[in-house]
Chains A and B, each alone.
Chain A
Amino acid sequence: MTQKNKMKKYGSLFMATALLTGALAGCNTDEDTSSSGGSGNSASGDVIKIGANLELSGGVASYGSSIGDGAKLAIEEINAAGGIDGKQLELITVDNKSENSEATTAAIRLAEKEQVVAMLAPATSGNALATVEIANKYKVPIVTGSGTAPNVTVNDNGSVNEFAFRTCFIDPFQGTVAANFATKDLGAKNVAIYADNASDYAKGLAASFKETVLANGGTVVAEEAYVAKDVDFKSTLTNIKGKNPDFVFIPGYYEEVGLIVKQARDLGIDVPLMGADGWDSPTLIDLAGAKALNNTYITNHYSSEDPDASIQKFVEAFKGKYKEAPNAFHALGYDSIYFIVDAIKRVDGDITGEAIQKQLAATKDLSLITGTFTVDEFHNPVKSATVLEFVDGKQQFNSKVNP
């Protein structure tokens, strides 16, 4: 057979495959339209399926797995107490590898193949955002435990993403709390900001922090940025040190923050450093070292040392199962399940994605571990924040701030 004929043969094979794929894709599209015309997936039989699209590997694996562990505990508790009207809950977990594209694929798989009625969205805002369209299309409500960027639930043009919800407060609130804490409690006047330039989360926090500091009469002496995955921050930190700030705000994630805190202390920046819930990971202490973390603060969703009785009950149950004290992500994962379950319980008639969505939006004065909350018109919970201080590698409860 000559080369040319071979080419022809493969060419026709290719054409045939392309046609076949096209035909199959056509079928899929038909199914899609029919499902989006309906009211989302519905629970049939004795099991209610809830999906979990989480970061179990990759850069922020620590957040996703923590949320998953908290969620599992909640599911076990609810099933042990008889489930919802006799129906047992089933949690179907998919790893999105901490990547946006994987998060989208995982959401499609959960909505289409597993037919879940609701799902936990990824832990970080960027990954959660990658699943919002899928939620709207399949009419399956998503709840992110820790995606704090405003645009997860509200589009830039101000319209609400109907099927997106969250259990945590939003970025501007954390930035505001940090700024008030810095200027009022610590008496800082000249602050520096060192933000992760690659994440919407960090940029959102930096913007609201700056606004509140200026409103409180403070000065921003330095505004610097870094890119995720960097390892050498010394040159920029040397610059910041040269401006003599009395407080440095570092919104970002633990992977880089751990190194920044260590290198800042090495260079002799001894002023208070502060961040937000992105710092909350045991890896931070390994990376920075306990000593460097002294005199640093974070805003967070909750503290396991909060003396509140319901919090202590949760802490005990968690320790019984996992042999460690729960962090904020564990608590948010746990709360996300109770948030969804509370809505499912209030559904009259068929349990469908759309019915759950209506009830989630109507949630009012729901008392959970990370605070009592009411869902507002933008699908954000109105709730309190906690300020924690690192002392010798341990987080200590400092104060609670109401919205």
Chain B
Amino acid sequence: MEWIQQLVNGISLGSIYALIALGYTMVYGIIKLINFAHGDVFMLGAFIGFFAIARWEMNVFLALILAMALCAIIGVIIERVAYKRLRNATRIAALITAIGVSLLIEYTVIFFRGASPAAYPTVFETSNFEILGVKISTQSILILSVSIFLMVLLQFIVHKTKIGKAMRAVSHDADAAKLMGINVDNTISATFAIGSALAGAAGVIFGIYYTRIDPLMGVLPGIKAFIAAVLGGIGIIPGAMVGGLVLGVVETIVSALGYSLWRDAAAFVILILILIIRPSGIFGKNAREKV
């Protein structure tokens, strides 16, 4: 029974990684940029949700939607201000800018509210129920269902809507898409908006599930989500979901075997191994890059 319990623990953790990894992978897919500020958008989402619930006494679902909406706007602003003018610059310039944006967000938040952690208000009375000796809290169920719902919604947007079609086209070949009359700028902005909204949602879910939030909370989950995205094959949306879940479960197994102090190391070993053995990730095709 202990193993089923551990699996439940791993999937809960993994679904949060997956939600963040989606934003990484979408942005990479479309402009080939590792957006290191993504983890900080996740943090902003957690704080927006915190203020919405604790200060303005909003319903959890309204708070979740508010956090998603504001994060979407923040994501678009970041893209327009910091990345747009670098679209034709070297990739390393964009990457360094992303790190700069990340630090700017973190320390702006610290400047205004200090670095001390905040505790998320209790939004549901946690009740546990047992299935086959496994304790599952109502919170885990809710978090899992919200994550799955958002992932399904994303699949729908990408494959069934006009903007999704435009995103796929721009990702495939931006110049050709432009010639076909697709507004590339708006499509890229939409990608940032959707990715950031998912990060915002992950922030609120993280806050509800783990209770503690602080201005630097986005750093490690951000890097873990990046690993998840690479693991699944960066730029591939289902890859990010699978990568997130696999990473969550692997980390849990490492702790369960009694090596809890090696958990973070295990995540980075996965990154190193995947880069050596299969750089294109689980779902990646071994395509050569166009020069």
Contacts and interface: CB of A to CB of B under 8 A. Distances in A.
B255 A236 contact: yes
A197 B261 contact: yes
Interface string A271-305: 00000000000010011110000000000000000
A235 B260 contact: yes
Given A197-B261, A225-B261, A255-B212, A238 B6 contact: yes
Given A242-B2, A259-B212, A262-B211, A235 B116 contact: no
Nearest to A269: B135
B210 interface: yes
A259 B261 contact: no
Contacts of B211: 258-259, 262, 286-288
Given A238-B256, A259-B211, A268-B135, A227 B119 contact: no
Contacts of A242: 2
Given A229-B220, A287-B212, A266 B13 contact: no
A226 interface: yes
Task: Please indicate which of the listed interface residues B139, B210, B253 has the most CB atoms of chain A within 10 Å of its own CB.
Answer: B210
A231 interface: yes
A266 B209 CA distance: 11
Interface in A224-247: 224-227, 229, 231-232, 234-236, 238-239, 241-242
Contacts of A238: 2, 5-6, 9, 256
Contacts of A229: 220
Contacts of A262: 211
B119 A286 contact: yes
Interface in B138-172: 139
Interface string B257-273: 01011001000000000
A266 B135 contact: yes
A187 interface: no
Contact of B6 (A197, A235, A288, A289): A235
A58 interface: yes
Contacts of A227: 261, 264
A187 B258 CA distance: 28
B126 interface: yes
Given A262-B211, A266-B128, A232 B117 contact: no
A226 B261 CA distance: 6
Interface in A294-335: none
B5 A57 contact: no
Nearest to A224: B260
B108 interface: no
Task: Please indicate which of the listed interface residues A227, A239, A259 has the most CB atoms of chain B within 10 Å of its own CB.
Answer: A239
B117 A231 contact: no
B255 A235 contact: yes
Interface string B120-142: 00100010100000010101000
A384 to B, nearest CB: 31
A283 B217 CA distance: 17
Interface in B64-116: 114-116
Nearest to A61: B116
A235 B212 contact: no
B252 interface: yes
Interface residues of A, number: 34
Nearest to B221: A231
B262 to A, nearest CB: 10
A235 B251 CA distance: 9
A70 B117 CA distance: 22
B281 interface: no
B10 interface: yes
B220 A232 contact: no
A394 to B, nearest CB: 17
A197 B135 CA distance: 27
Contacts of A286: 119, 211
A258 B120 CA distance: 12
Contacts of B117: 59, 255, 283
Nearest to B206: A231
A259 B256 CA distance: 18
Contacts of B135: 266-268
Contacts of B13: 232, 234
A97 interface: yes
A283 B126 contact: no
Contacts of A235: 6, 9-10, 251-253, 255-256, 260
Contacts of A241: 2
Task: Please indicate which of the listed interface residues A197, A236, A268 has the most CB atoms of chain B within 10 Å of its own CB.
Answer: A236
Interface string A3-30: 0000000000000000000000000000
A62 interface: yes
Contacts of B126: 266
A390 B279 CA distance: 52
A241 B134 CA distance: 12
Interface string A22-48: 000000000000000000000000000
B244 to A, nearest CB: 14
13 contacts: A58-B115, A227-B261, A231-B210, A232-B13, A232-B210, A232-B251, A235-B6, A236-B255, A236-B256, A239-B255, A258-B119, A266-B128, A286-B119
Given A239-B258, A267-B135, 15 more contacts: A61-B115, A224-B258, A229-B220, A232-B9, A234-B12, A235-B251, A235-B253, A235-B256, A236-B256, A238-B9, A239-B256, A258-B212, A266-B137, A283-B117, A289-B122
Interface of B: 2, 5-6, 9-10, 12-13, 114-117, 119, 122, 126, 128, 135, 137, 139, 206, 210-212, 217, 220, 251-253, 255-256, 258, 260-261, 264
Q: Which 3 A-B pairs have the closest CB atoms?
A: A286-B119, A235-B255, A234-B9
